[in-house]
Structure formats: structure tokens, C-alpha cells
Structure 1
Amino acid sequence: MNPVSPVSPRGMLYQIPASPEDDERDEYIEEEVYENDFTFRAVFVGLLVGVVLCMTNVYFGLQTGWVSMMSLQSALLGFAIFKAIPRVLPRLKIKPFTPQENVILQTVAVATGTMPLAAGLVGIIPALEMMSETMDGRGPVVLGAAGLIMWCMAVAFFGVFLAAPLRRQVIIKEKLVFPSGTATAQLIALLHKIPPPGEALGTGVSRAYRRLPRASRSVSPPGEEEREAAASTEDRKDAEVMTVAGWWALGWTFAASGILTFISFLFPIIYALPLFDVLGLPFGTSLAAQWMWWFTPSLSYVGQGVIMGFPVTIAMNLGMLVGWAVLSPLSKHLGWAPGPVSSSTTGARGWILWVALAIMIAESVISLLPIIISYTTTLLRHHRQRSRSKVFQPVSPREANTADDDYFDPTDEDEDDPEIEPPERLVPMSWVWSGLAVSGVLGVGLVWMVFGADGIHPWATAVGLVLASALSLIGVRALGETDLNPVSGIGKISQLLFAVLQPGNVVANIIAGGVAEAGAQQAGDLMQDLKTGHLLRASPRSQFYGQLIGSFASVFVSTAGYKFYTSVYQIPGPQFAVPSAGIWLNLARLLNKGHLPDHVVPFMLAFGTLFGALSFIKAFHIRLPPSPGRDKWIRYIPSGIAFAVGFLNSPSFSIARLIGGYIAYRTAKSTRTGETPLLAIVAASGFVLGEGVVSIVTLGLTSAGYGAVSCFGCGLGGGGYCSGGCT
């Protein structure tokens, strides 16, 4: 897969595998890859899509702590926009929208859309605003618009420069899967009707990526031909979906979700149905009002359930039942949590939050162990190889003339897949080192300006950035192998460290954790984009430009979105509980001479030990040789993070996601491959985007003084969205 001779100033020829639908041919075909993938129109539309995704992520993040890259949705929306332009403006002549431009578009959109999580706008910033004089020694830390912009600017770019040099190691040399980036490349290939990416990948990814080029296959195992035939049939169905049916599904689901969201704004009872009060009638109690058990028929959360899959939503609802149907009533009736159930400090919600925190820390730390071991052994092996090559091998002319900017490692001479990109399409290492230095100094200075001497010391911020650099290596590797970036564990590790480095300072503890998490999360998300670009031969340098532009734009978009929501709604409040903020603040309080609620320690130890052991089994299982019997029961082990999220979110959100997970399960059973069909994923994307976009409209109406048309039914159940729009 090496480049061949240039054919024009605007393009180069690369060898890519022929379409897997052609069962007779093993040869490779040549396809022109445009050099000018970094176009104004790709960046501009990417920013438009990114703004929508950013506001959507602020909305969902403040509600449930759930923030998505939405790379698939970005590629879909971008392609739909360019597909619609010739129909809306038939006289406007535009060049065909290329797959490489779509890669740049979704890269810009993802960088713009994920800033609410990277900058902690759905976690650490609300946590600082929830501080109290009695518990923390100082009042709430509320940043104005200028302070929030400076904070976002401080953490916006460091992760971008971290991601650039990691590409060569984890994508080119180790060929890690990065399932979301790989799936996005597959979707873009389907949209643009080009042969799917042909890089050989390992297990744990979608069916489209488990097939190898025929020339590289050995003897197929029993049943392989049947599975390949089924996968090939599903690929043809996917291609048909993205012609007519898929666009209709995206449009109708977007409209249905948007309409339901707007109707629920007018009639709040729709999103707070007190269905479970029937169970409380014999006891004369309202489960909705007292115990937060209502049902929210949100299509967006149904869509999220489809995307998450049935196993994840099952784990989430198991956590919901244990947390909200067992532990919450137990802590309330035994007097361990005497406050209102909805209170995150004295109520049952705050009590079970500690159990969730124990589960998340245990699973995050244990799941990092095999990654750390693997990374350490890889480094040692490479060090021994380099030492042997220096002792026994003469220096070649190519090695002697190699510069840092060439991204050339002498040990790559005998590797199967060396760097395929020419130097002019790569990010020079001189840029990376300069960028890390400048963004690091900028981050330290801006954090000092925002929080001052009572916040975090400059040296402590610098240590946080160094920690982010080290932990991002682990996070990126975990993301590449499992599609899960353990940023929550990375943030908690940083908090534990800073409880020692700067004790007694809750603000410093939260900020340090946020700095470390921001770098690791951003580097991981951008690495998914680079995987997509690698598979579709987009320029890494163009993607780097797009990431910088998207991150810079999102500084202002995210700030505006957060300030808009906090000025209109009570945060935390009935509609926006901000569960992530409670996790950050409570751990910081505990580490800085705080105390735990009554009788919660045994439950934390029990659940933490249980899910730590389960995480250990899952983490080290993937290192063992395949075993059909063992593999069958391992997949039934619930995810600890998903289980803990069931504690953090009120039952209404978990139940809606379970419905979506079941839909994914049923539609997957209807296929011969057992994978969720593309049409279901497209429809789910429409559900998520519909509510996210219309929520911006309802936010504007609320800020303008408009509210519910009728509060009918709200008195029965209370709570939920009803208490937000009606009294």
C-alpha cells in the first residue's frame, strides 16, 4: 500500500484493495486521492455541523453526563448537505464532494462538538459552581464568559498536539482497530460508493472490517465462507440503504424526535409520565414525586440505546434497579440519607452516588492494568531491538540522512506496513514539539489568570499536563483496542495524586483532574479521526489543521452554549441534574479531609471489589487464546461503567435506553450476521439529532419568556420535566 508516482498537482495514486463484493479478483485497483482535501467548503460545513453537535452535547451532557463524538452523524449530515445543494440550487455548479473532504468535514465537526466534555463544561465547571462555604471552605466558583473562554482556551489545543505523534505508533505500526473511526470510514465509503477500506483488522469490530483481502488469507476456518457470504449480502443492503431508504429514515426519525421534543415543551407531562404511581396507590404514595420513578418517552434516548447496544443498556438498567429500587429506599428508610431523595448531598441520590464512584474507580483502574503491562513490554522490546541494531548493524545511508520531520524510525525497515504518506502530508515533529510547548505555557498561564492564587498553583497545572501526556498514551491504546477511553479513571488518578501535591484545596483537585482528563480525552477522540483518515487516505496534515480550527471555534461555541443553558435553567435542577459534577465534587471533598455518608463504606467496598474482579476477568480474557466456551459466558459479564451510570441517572433515562437496546437486539437477530443493521443506526442518529436540535429552539423560547401551554397531569406525579416547567 505504498504511493506510486504522482499523476497531477492535485492528486496521487495509491493502491487500495478491490471491492470485496468481487469474489473473483484478487488484484488491487488504483484510485486517485485528492491532495486538496482541505477545502473551505469542507471546513465551513464541518463547523456548521460541529456547532449543532456541540450544543447537543451540552444538552445531553448536563442531563445525563453522556457526550458522544458523533463522527458517524457528522459524516451523514455533511454528505446530506452536499447532496441537497444541487437540488436546492440547481444552477449552482459545484465539484463532487470527495470522501477525503468528508473526512476533513467530520474531523472539524468532532473537534468542535466534543469540547463540552474536554473542557469539563458538563462536569468540573458545574462542580465548581456547586461548592459551598460550609463543606469546602469557600463558596461557589462561578466563571464569567471571559473566564470560561480563557479556561476552554487553556485546554483546547494540548490534546491536539498530543494526538499527532501517536498516529505513527498506534495506527501505522500497531494497526490498532479504533472501532468508531473504522466504522466512520466504512460509512463514508458507502456514502460515496467507493470500495470499503481494506486494511486487515482484528476482532471486536463490525463485520465489514473482519474480512481480509483474499490474497492475504490462509485456509478459511469451517463456516468462514458462509459468514463471508452473509456479510457480503449485508454490505450490499447497507449500500442500498444509503441511496433512498436511509435518507428517508434519517429525515423521518429526525422529524419525529423533534416534534415530540417540542410538544413536550408545550405539555411537560409528556416527558414525565408518572406510570409507576400505579404501584404506589395501595400505599398512598407517589413514586414519581418521592422516589424519582417516572418515564420519559424520549426518542433521543431510545436512539442512544440503539447505538449503545443491548448488553450495555441491560447493564445500565441492572444498575438502575439496584441503585434506585434497592439501595435508594434502603438508605432512606434506615436514616442513612435523611434528606430529599433527589438531593446529591443529604439525600438517597447522593448516597448511591458514592457506590457508583467506587464501581467506576475499580473498573477503570483494573482495566488499565493490561494496557499498562502491554505498553511497558512493547517499549522494552523496542528498546532491546534498537540496542541490538545499533551494536550489530551498520548505519545505512537512509538512516544517516533521516530527520525527525520525516517520521522515519530505522527499526521500520523490515515492517510490513511502513508509513505510506509522503512527508508533505504529515505533521512535522518540529510543529508538535513547538505546539506542545506553546499550548502548555498558554494553559498554565490562562489557568493561573482564571483561578488565581486561591485556585491551583502554576507548577501544579504543569504537572497535570505532564500527567495528561503520560496517561493519554494509555487512554489512546485502550480506545484503539476496545473503543472505550477510560478518561473517568484518568481523571480520578489525577485527583488522587493532587490530594497529596496540593492538599486541602478542593478547587485545585478538581482543576488538576480536569486538565489531565481533557488531554487524554481529546487525544483519544482525535485519534479516531486519524484512523478514519488513514483508511480513506486523507492527509494527516489536513486533519491536523481541521482539528485546530474546530477546537478553536468550539471554545466560543461551548462557552455560549453553557452560559445560555445556565442562564435559562437551574443547574443542577430537575431537568439538568449534572451527575458528572457530583462525582467530581464528592471525590474532591473526600480526598481533602471530607467524610463519607453513614454506612456507605461497606457497600462501596463490596461493589468495588465485585466489579474490580469482573473487570480483571474481562481485561485479561482478551489476552488469552480464543475459546468458544469461555468467550460465550464472558460476554454476559456486565460493564461496570454502564452499571454505575444506572446509579447516576434517574430511572427515566435508563428505561428509554433499554427500549433502544432491545430494538437493536431484535433488528440484529433479523440479519444473518447478528450485527445491528446500518438502517437502524441511521434511524437512531435521527432520533438523537432531532431532540438535540429542537432543544436549542426550546432553549431560545424559554429565554424569551415562553413556557408550557398546559400543566395538566403534573400534579399527579410531580418531579421530572414537570417541576421544571410547571409548579
Structure 2
Amino acid sequence: MLSADGKSKLRLGCCVCGSTDKLKWTSLLGGFGSYLFGMSETIAKQATEAKDAQNIKDPHLGWMIGFLFLVSFIGLFALVPLRKIMIVDYKLTYPSGTATAYLINGFHTPEGAKLAKKQVKTLGKYFLFSFFWGFFQWFYTAGDDCGFKNFPTLGLEAYNNRFFFDFSPTYVGVGMICPYIVNVSVLLGGILSWGVMWPLIAKKKGSWYPADISGTSLHGLQAYRVFISIALILGDGLYNFLKVLIRTIAGFISMVQNDSKGMLPVSDNGMSMSTTEAVSFDDERRTEIFLKDQIPKSVAYGGYVVVAALSIGTLPEIFPQLKWYYILVAYVIAPVLAFCNAYGSGLTDWSLASTYGKLAIFVFGAWAGLSHGGVLVGLAACGVMMSIVSTASDLMQDFKTGYLTLASPRSMFISQVIGTGMGCVIAPCVFWLFYKAFSDIGTSGTEYPAPYAIVYRNMAILGVDGFNSLPENCLTLCYIFFAAAIAINLIRDLAPHKVSRFIPLPMAMAIPFYIGSYFAIDMFLGSVILFIWEKLNKAKADAFGPAVASGLICGDGIWTLPQSILALAKVKPPICMKFLSRAANAKVDSFLAG
């Protein structure tokens, strides 16, 4: 599958994929429906506080393009020096990147390879199944909480606590690609949080936090979900970041290259890579290409410093409330957070950029204070942090695709720069046209209410009061889980491999704390399917498992394109499939009969 016949095509396909991925990123995380639009007067009027001019900035095409150019590129440089560690040494899976690579490789496999033909056929079959399954599900989604994605497969009580199988081919496929320990860790995290902790904390309503608070307010249960997950992620990420730093320094001091090649617990053997370890020809070739076309460290470090300096000097001109030292501090801590996000994304395929953005809202909003435009500072800092950590994670995802398709890392990096530049212009222009075409955009009760913009602004209003405004015992629990993440990692590193391979990963456990357990069940089902398949026929599972997983992921992903076109054309599904309890159903029947 890695012959020279298709190598140039593979590289081209991979680079185009990376470029368009960056265009998509800018449109999604540019903040047009969240933090960026949350600065506007339209949204401020719907909030309870901070309606003064100090905390308002209406959208304008010029400053939006300038802001995105200043904050979008720096993430490309943040983790470039660590790409070998993340991809080659740590062997992180990056499931979406792996699935994309498998799809590209399948299109350019030599015709004579019998196995490759069967693999491509299998991929195509499950691609079509996943695509048409998405199409079939669409017919039943004519309303809120309708359709198979809201099917209470484990009962209504479990559904209310986000325990259900949502029939997502994407995460069944991701579960087939991720190592078993990752899937088990995610499921354990979901059980611990949504099965035990949140129901217990919910019983403290009226004691630990106000009883009349909304479910999405950071004065209530949502605060525990957000900040405890952040504590786990930061504890695990900081531990591994320091481990990499210490081993790298030790490698330089001893001048022995292998000293810095420690493996993360998700590697195949959990031990350091040795020169005598058997490596397949494909892997040797991939590593050779991946390391041959190096991106100079001077470019990475220099690029980060230059872009950071430009941002520090220019962003205060766009947001006078955002002082230069706020931005400097953000750029000093950003690489550590980018590492955490890229590590978590490599394990589970989830990017928690918005979670780090919420952390920035609290830290920088409280630092500035309400009277000094703290709401606007928090929202702008949120955009800066989200841009850095998300871009770094996406770049590693694409480096994984490039590694598996023999694409030049330098070409991949350049394509990322091109795609990011395109997104910084195209996405704001599209939003600006939309904003000008609909005068009531962002107003509650209209066709385009922009609910996330209101949520982000309310978070920023809460953030100016600092962490002391969090509910009772929230910070204490954060400290406990931060320490627990470090302790678990220490135990993993000190315990023998036969024991450590059964210890869950804190980073993977943290993901469902905030999001819910539904995707954990999907991923676990994928690992169960692969496990049974390997028991029945390991050779066949090894040969066709990645093809099945890639087909499921790609087919479901491609379906979003026609789904978006249908939404833009205002074509609505004809059926709403919703589930009610027996008591609720009796009330509905009684109402209809009356």
C-alpha cells in the first residue's frame, strides 16, 4: 500500500485534505456563533449585566479578519517540534487522521494487490452503509430531541444522565481504531461522572448551589462538569508534558538518542522503543519519509515568537481592554495546553478547545475585572486560547494522516498555512454577508437566535467574579482530581507492564465528564466488535478492521455535507421520533382526547 506508484498522488490528496480542513476549522471555531458574536450589542442587551460600552464590540469585517489572522497562525507553530514524539514515538492513534489516511491510501493502491482490493471494497461497503444510515436517520429528526441519536436504549433515567447508544457509526469506528485501554477508560469516566458523581452532586441542589439555577449555568451543576474535567485534563497533560521535557533534557545531556523515546501507556508494548524492536517495512518507510523532510526548529520557535510578538503589539489595538501582558501570559501557557489537547485528541479523537476557552474566560476575565472591560477581555482571550489549542491539535491530526500516506511534513505544514489564510478571509466574509442579510440575527425567538453567543457572554459575566463565584466545593474537587490524575500516571509509570496496562488513562476518563457518556458507549461497542472479531479470526480482523472503521467514520462524515445543503434549502425532515415515559404519554393522550 506504500509503493512509489501512488506516492505523489497520496501527497497531493493529503495536502488538499489538510488545507480544506483548516478552512473548515476557521469557520467553526472563528467564534461567529459563540465568543465573537457574544461581544455584540445585540447579545449584550439580552444579558443581565455588562451592557456598557467597555464590554461591547459589534462585528465588523475589518477587525474580524485582522483578529483571525493574528490568532489563527500561532497554533501551527506551537507543537511542530513535538511532532515526532507525538506521531512516531508515542504512537498516538488520532482516529480521524488514521481513517482519512486509510481512505486516501485505498484510492491509490496498485491494482494487482488482491488484499488491497478487498480492503478498498470493504471500506466502500461500510462507507455506503454509514452514509445511507445517516440519510435514513435524518427522516426522523423533525424537531428538538428527535431521532435515533436520542434513542433511550438503556432507559429514560439513563438517557437523562446521558447514558444511551446514539447509533453513531463515527464513534463505533473510532472505537475500533482506538486501543482497548482508551475505550475502557472513556467508559469508566462516563460511569464515574454521569453514573455516580453528577447524580450525587445534583442531590446537593439548594445546599451547594442555588436550586432555581438553569442546567447550563456555571453557578450550578454545569460548573462541576466543566472544571473537574479541566482539572483531570490539566493534571494528566501537565504530567506528560513534564515527562517529555525531562526525558528530552536527559537525552541532550547524555547524547544518547533513545533516552528521549519513552512510550506513552497507549503504545503497543508500553516500553521504550529499542533499536532491536521489529519494525515492519511500511513503518520504516513511513518514519523515514516523516523524518526526512524536516521542518527546522528555528522555523517553529521563530514563527511562534514572531506571530506572538505581532499579536501582543496589535491585538490591543483591536481590543483596547485586552492589555499586552494578558496576551503574553496566554502565549506562555498556551503550548502546555496545546499539548494537553493534542494528547487527548490523539487518544480519543475529541478536541476540547472550547473547554480551554472557558478556562481562559475565567482566568483573564477575573484578572481584568468588570470595570475594566473584563467581559470583553474574557471573550477575546477565549478566542485566542481556542485558536491555539485547536489548531495545534488539528495539525497533529493531519500530520498523522501525512505520516500514514507518505506525505511530506513540510508540504503538509505549508498546506495548513494556506488553508488557515483562506479561512481567515472566507469565513468572516460569509458571516458578514449573513449578518447583513438578516437584521434580527442573534435575537431570541427569531429564526437565528445564536444561543451559544448568549451562553458565552453569560459565562464571561460570571468569569469577571473569578473562581470564588463557583459553587461550593467545586474548587476542592478540582484539586482532588488534578492530584489524582498525576498520581495515576505515576502509578502507571512505576508499576510493571503486566499491571500498568490495566490502569485507566485519566485524560481519556476526563472527556465524558463534560460531554456525556453516549459516545463512550459507541466507542466501547466498537472495541467489543473488534475484540470478538479478533477472537474469531485475528488475521482477518487485522487486515479488514481498519477498513471497516474508516468506512464507518468517513461515510457518516460525508453525510453532513448533503445534510447541511438540505438545511440551507430549508428542507425539513417529515417525522419526529421521540420517546416519552408511560406517565407523560398518558397525559399527551388525555390532552389530545380532550
TM-score normalised to structure 2 length: 0.69
1:465 and 2:380 matched: no
Residue of structure 1 in register with 2:212 after alignment: 338
Closer, same or farther: CA 236–494 of 1 in aligned 2, 3 Å: farther
Closer, same or farther: CA 584–323 of 1 in aligned 2, 3 Å: farther
Between the aligned partners of 2:310 and 2:103, the Cα distance in structure 1 is 38
Residue of structure 1 in register with 2:269 after alignment: none
* 8 Å contact from structure 2 (residues 65, 425) kept in 1: yes
1:151 and 2:103 matched: no
Residue of structure 2 in register with 1:315 after alignment: 189
Between the aligned partners of 1:315 and 1:552, the Cα distance in structure 2 is 38
After superposition, what is the alpha-carbon deviation per residue over 1:573-615, rounded to whole angstroms, capped at 9, x for unaligned?
9999977985895377345357636xx313x256435533542
- Within-5 A mapping of 1:175-190: 175-180=89-94, 181=97, 185=101, 188-190=104-106
Between the aligned partners of 1:594 and 1:374, the Cα distance in structure 2 is 29
- Within-5 A mapping of 1:152-171: 152-167=68-83, 170=85
Between the aligned partners of 2:389 and 2:508, the Cα distance in structure 1 is 25
Aligned match for 1:245, one of 107, 116, 122? 122
Between the aligned partners of 2:335 and 2:60, the Cα distance in structure 1 is 29
Between the aligned partners of 2:147 and 2:359, the Cα distance in structure 1 is 41
Residue of structure 1 in register with 2:266 after alignment: none
Closer, same or farther: CA 354–423 of 1 in aligned 2, 3 Å: closer
Q: For 2:120, what is the secondary structure of its paired residue?
A: coil
Between the aligned partners of 1:612 and 1:541, the Cα distance in structure 2 is 37
Letter in 1 for 2:531: A
Q: For 1:114, what is the secondary structure of its paired residue?
A: helix
* 8 Å contact from structure 1 (residues 323, 352) kept in 2: no
Please state how far the C-alpha of 1:374 moved relative to its aligned partner: 1.6
1:254 and 2:128 matched: no
* 8 Å contact from structure 1 (residues 298, 656) kept in 2: yes
- Indicate the larger mover: 306-315 or 455-464: 306-315
Q: For 2:128, what is the secondary structure of its paired residue?
A: helix
* 8 Å contact from structure 2 (residues 171, 522) kept in 1: no
Between the aligned partners of 1:354 and 1:267, the Cα distance in structure 2 is 25
Residue of structure 2 in register with 1:677 after alignment: 545
Letter in 1 for 2:331: L
Please state how far the C-alpha of 1:692 moved relative to its aligned partner: 1.9
Between the aligned partners of 1:570 and 1:326, the Cα distance in structure 2 is 36
After superposition, what is the alpha-carbon deviation per residue over 1:674-727, rounded to whole angstroms, capped at 9, x for unaligned?
88923542343256325522331233133xxx6576789899979xxxxxxxxx
Closer, same or farther: CA 170–659 of 1 in aligned 2, 3 Å: closer
1:601 and 2:515 matched: no
Q: For 1:159, what is the secondary structure of its paired residue?
A: helix
Aligned match for 1:124, one of 35, 52, 57? 35
Between the aligned partners of 1:367 and 1:580, the Cα distance in structure 2 is 30
- Within-5 A mapping of 1:566-585: 582=455
Aligned match for 2:19, one of 94, 108, 121? 108
Please state how far the C-alpha of 1:355 moved relative to its aligned partner: 0.7
Gaps of 5+ in 1: 1-18, 20-29, 38-97, 196-234, 281-286, 389-413, 647-653, 719-727
Letter in 1 for 2:193: G
Between the aligned partners of 2:559 and 2:201, the Cα distance in structure 1 is 32
Between the aligned partners of 1:188 and 1:709, the Cα distance in structure 2 is 36
- Within-5 A mapping of 1:686-705: 686=554, 688-689=556-557, 691-702=559-570
Radius of gyration: which is bigger?
1
Between the aligned partners of 1:502 and 1:247, the Cα distance in structure 2 is 54
Gaps of 5+ in 2: 257-274, 278-283, 586-594
More helix by share: 2
- Indicate the larger mover: 499-508 or 513-522: 499-508
1:539 and 2:412 matched: no
* 8 Å contact from structure 1 (residues 363, 612) kept in 2: yes
Letter in 2 for 1:178: L
* 8 Å contact from structure 1 (residues 170, 477) kept in 2: no
- Within-5 A mapping of 1:468-483: 468-469=334-335, 471-472=337-338
Letter in 2 for 1:601: E
Aligned length: 531
Please state how far the C-alpha of 1:559 moved relative to its aligned partner: 3.9
Closer, same or farther: CA 478–423 of 1 in aligned 2, 3 Å: closer
Q: For 1:177, what is the secondary structure of its paired residue?
A: coil
Between the aligned partners of 1:693 and 1:337, the Cα distance in structure 2 is 42
- Within-5 A mapping of 1:32-43: 32=4, 37=8
Please state how far the C-alpha of 1:353 moved relative to its aligned partner: 0.7
* 8 Å contact from structure 2 (residues 141, 577) kept in 1: no
Residue of structure 1 in register with 2:225 after alignment: 356
* 8 Å contact from structure 1 (residues 155, 515) kept in 2: yes
Residue of structure 2 in register with 1:632 after alignment: 502
* 8 Å contact from structure 2 (residues 378, 460) kept in 1: no
Between the aligned partners of 1:660 and 1:695, the Cα distance in structure 2 is 24
Letter in 2 for 1:319: S
1:264 and 2:141 matched: yes
Q: For 1:632, what is the secondary structure of its paired residue?
A: coil
Please state how far the C-alpha of 1:354 moved relative to its aligned partner: 0.7
